[in-house]
Amino acid sequence: MTRDDSGAASDADDQLLVLPDDLRHELKEPLGPIETDAEVLLEAVDGPLIAVGDVVTYHFLEAGRPPDVALVDERTKRDAVDEEIRETVTESTHIEAVNPPTEITADVVRALRDGLEREEPTTILVEGEEDLVVLPAIIAAPEGASVVYGQPDEGMVHVKVTDDHRAEMRALLDRFEGDADRLWDLLDRE
Return the half-sphere exposure (C-beta side, CA atoms, 13 A cut-off) of residue 81: 19
pLDDT > 60? residue 14: yes
Residue type, 187: L
160 by DSSP, 3-state: which? strand
pLDDT > 60? residue 12: no
Annotated binding-site residue numbers for GTP: 54-56, 73, 130, 153
DSSP assignment, residue 152?
T
Sign for the CA dihedral angle at 53, 176, 109, 106 comes to: negative
pLDDT > 70? residue 154: yes
Whole-number Å distance between alpha carbons of 57 and 189? 26
Higher pLDDT, 79 or 28: 28
pLDDT in tens, 91-124: 877 899 999 999 999 999 999 999 999 999 999 9
Whole-number Å distance between alpha carbons of 103 and 18? 4
The band of 189, judged by pLDDT with boundaries at 50, 70 and 90, is low
Residue type, 43: E
pLDDT at 8: 40
Cβ–Cβ under 8 Å, residues 148 and 61: no
Share of the chain above pLDDT 70, in %: 90
pLDDT > 80? residue 7: no
Cβ–Cβ under 8 Å, residues 95 and 127: no
pLDDT at 6: 41
Higher pLDDT, 181 or 3: 181
Whole-number Å distance between alpha carbons of 65 and 187? 26
pLDDT in tens, 29-42: 899 999 999 999 99
Cβ–Cβ under 8 Å, residues 74 and 81: yes
Whole-number Å distance between alpha carbons of 66 and 68? 6
Higher pLDDT, 91 or 142: 142
pLDDT > 50? residue 180: yes
Annotated binding-site residue numbers: 54-56, 73, 130, 153
